[in-house]
Amino acid sequence: MKWLLALMLLTWMPAWAAIPAVSSSNAPSQQERNKAVARRVFDEIFNQGKFQVADEIYARDFVNHGLHRDAGLDEDQAAVHWEKQACPDLKMTVDLMVAEGDLVTVVWRARGANTAAASPLPATGVNFELRGITVWRIDDGKIREEWTDFDMLGVVRQAVIQLKGKLLGLLCVIAILFWTASRAVRSLRVRGSMR
């Protein structure tokens, strides 16, 4: 009986060794899961306009740490709605994404055109491209904190270049109005001093 058991072990051992072991290395790492959450912000919210998924992606106590003040989830998402309203063709792409611990850093690029009015911005037709960087802290599969920076001055420069003719015309109208108003005021002063 012992020799039969030994023979079976020797016969089946190579077959057992060939069976891949089930390990947790096939499961995505926490960093990969966090990166997937970050990708959803760009793919689903910004590019597809699926604003309702924000409840799945962001924690209720989310904080966007702005340069001068913090914003909660409602204010942050209102800004996203405004951006998508003003630029319906807004497309955001990820240039670089790195995850470390509970942080995900994304270098992104946004392209679009301001083709729709979004108070107080009228539709200008200005095409723009900007680059930014966002760092998110993701806890338990939800974004809890955000730090973002982008080149707003670059966007203004692009708008001025594209609208320079209209802006010059507007400046001329304003100058004429001031000149006309100042002449009217002088005329009233002269008439008042004659009495």
* Tens digit of each residue's pLDDT (9 = 90 or more) over 105-130: 999 999 999 999 888 878 888 899 99
Both tokens of residue 188? 């009233």
- Where the chain has pLDDT below 50, the residues are 16
Check: CB of residue 92 under 8 Å from CB of residue 108. Answer: yes
Find out if CATH 3.10.450.50 is the number for domain 28-150.
yes
Question: What pLDDT shows up at residue 94?
Answer: 98
Distance CA 127, CA 113 (A): 4
Domain boundaries, the chain: 28-150, 153-188
Q: Is the peptide bond before 120 cis (omega within 30 degrees of 0)?
A: yes
- The separation between CA 167 and the C-alpha centre of its own chain, rounded to angstroms, equals 29
Both tokens of residue 51? 């604003």
> Beta strand 58-65 with 142-150: parallel, antiparallel or unpaired?
parallel
